[in-house]
Amino acid sequence: MPVPYRLRKAFNTWLLFVASIYFWTLRTAFWLVNRFFRERKYVTQPSDRLLLISATQAVRMISKREISSTALVESYIHRIEQVNSTINAVVVKLFESARRQANEVDSFIALADEDDIEKKLAEQPLYGVPFTMKDALEVENEIITCGVYNRKDTKCERTAEAIRRLQAAGGILLAITNVPEVCMWVEAVNTIYGRSSNPYDTRRMTGGSSGGEGALLGAAGSVVGVGSDIGGSIRMPSFFNGIFGLKPTPGLIPLTGHVPEPTGYKKHMLRIGPMCRFAEDLPLMLRIMAGENAKA
């Protein structure tokens, strides 16, 4: 027997009233807690000029000997050390290997002529620039947990194809950032590394699952990074932390080396993609990560 229209309308009106009271109560409760019981903390604005240039600009300046790769890497290392106690975004630091790679870049630039440098940049368009990535892409000989406690001591035997391409393009992997357990939550929190916080207000969340990456980029602790997205995991942290991110076309960037490995329909939904502080770096990162697919 169909429910009379008036009864349905009355029920919907009552339901909306109850919902409005419920959400008003929640908003009021959270406002009171944040206003009187939780202190707002945030990261300071960067003063180092090297933190205020895009990766695209940095590559050009390194090639013209206006800045050194070592100076750029050291600036980001110092910034990470400065902000990470506030936002808890970085979970693995690869500083020493980054310093060695930056020194190799500077040694080449110092001795090379203009033709050699131009050829190098054509082959390696991210030459000398540091980048970061979420804790969900394999890196050979590094511990990648995907927020899963049972993986906290497991080292990888290979490097994810997207990361390998960035390294082959001259990018220097600087750090690995926090994620929720199995990358399946709307903020970056797990039982290994704890919770990451929004750089603009530590009482607020980072979004997920690439939340640590979003927070670090938003805090100027990195210039470009790598995330992955199945239902908003690049887009939400980008929105929450005031940066730029892109979920690419299916199949454009290979999923090889993603943790967890996608199966079934997830292969068609999951994407690996770039996250950047400056919009002009999105095309650069996408072209590198897409490889031959970028030419199609």
**Long-range contact list for 13-22, CB < 8 A, 24+ apart?**
none
- Give the pTM: 0.93
Domain locations along the chain: 1-38, 41-295
Q: What's the pLDDT band for 6 if we cut at 50, 70, 90?
A: confident
Residue 7: the pLDDT is 85
How many Cβ atoms sit within 10 Å of the Cβ of residue 263? Answer: 8
Q: What per-residue confidence (pLDDT) applies to 1?
A: 62
Beta pairing class for 172-177 and 194-195: unpaired
Count of positions (residues) in the chain: 296
The pLDDT value given to residue 8? 84
Q: What is the mean pLDDT of residues 234-245?
A: 99
What is the predicted pLDDT for the residue at 278? 99
Cis peptide bond prior to 2, omega within 30° of 0:
no
Nearest to 243, CA basis, from 215, 262, 202: 215
Q: Are strands 90-93 and 189-190 parallel, antiparallel or unpaired?
A: unpaired
Segment 194-227, tens digit of pLDDT = 999 999 999 999 999 999 999 999 999 999 999 9
Show which residues are catalytic: 134, 209, 233
- Tens of pLDDT, residue by residue over 16-35, are 999 999 999 999 999 999 98
pLDDT bin (cut points 50, 70, 90) of residue 143 is: very high
pLDDT digits (tens, 9 = 90+) for 59-94: 999 999 999 999 999 999 999 999 999 999 999 999
Query: Tens digits of per-residue pLDDT, 44-56?
Result: 999 999 999 999 9
With a cut of 90, say whether residue 5 has pLDDT above it. Answer: no
Task: Please give the pLDDT value at position 213.
Answer: 99
Q: What is the pLDDT of residue 4?
A: 81
Mark residue 112 as left, alpha or beta (left: phi above 0; alpha: psi -120 to 50; beta: remaining): beta
Per the structure block, which two tokens stand in for 251? 């199949």
The domain 41-295 having CATH identifier 3.40.50.300: the answer here is no
